[in-house]
Amino acid sequence: MTDDAGRVALVSGGSRGIGRAAVLRLAADGYDVGFCYRSNEDAARELEKTAGELGVRVRAVRADVSDAGSVRGLLAEINGELGPPDTVVTAAGITKDNPLLMMRDEEWNDVIDVNLTGVYNVCRAAVFEMMKRRRGTIVNISSVAGVYGNPTQTNYSASKAGIIGFSRALAKEVGRYGIRVNVVAPGFIDTDMTSVLSAKVKDNAIASIPLGRLGTADEVADLVGYLASDRAAYITGAVFQIDGGITI
């Protein structure tokens, strides 16, 4: 356990991928962890059990991050059972790729609603309690697509770029209250989101990565854990790319 043991963390999109790895990392560091999931209850309950075996309290709550009322209910439940979060990690995200001329309105709206408005809803619901206690850390998960853009991902890239602007602005707003806000921007990470890519697409991606492989969710979670901890006490408003060098 670290010096952060005994604190409470909230992870959105915690039942799979990077969010799941973040739940386990924070639990291993001694945080009590609440996380939300949208639909896969079996995966959420399995993670609740696995993380709880690390000796902390863990609570899974079904919530839709794109709906402000659902998020307020999530925070009320976590606050009541675990206490107000000291750390928030926003990992909920979806992709609906298409060239712009073929993109349907719902593909644009759904991705923006979950990826960007979801971050707004979660941070807005959590930050007031942090301000009252004059401490807290927020780690928002963006993507290298939000830094450099990806073809056929105008919706996803816009949502992830929006997270970066949102986080930098929020860091300036709440720094005087002892709250830090940072961004992690992963590249190609081996998760269920990338598992749907064809072998050809994966091979082309790996060929463009100087380290010659996909990253792992655990590697991203280790960075999240560091930024959430007191070891990163003088870091705020920063964007950390974890991409194997693909953007060099």
Report, as residue numbers or ranges, the catalytic residues. 156
Closest to 145 in 3D by CA, of 217, 195, 212, 194: 194
Q: Which residues contact 176 (CB under 8 A, 6 or more apart)?
A: none
Please give the single-letter amino acid code of residue 136.
G
Q: Which residues contact 203 (CB under 8 A, 6 or more apart)?
A: none
Q: What is the DSSP letter of 214?
A: -
Helices (DSSP H) in 16-152: which residue ranges? 17-28, 41-52, 68-81, 105-111, 118-133, 145-148
Compute CA 232 distance to the chain's CA centroid, rounded to the nearest angstrom.
17
Start-to-end CA span in the chain (Å): 35
**Residue holding tokens 């709250």?**
179
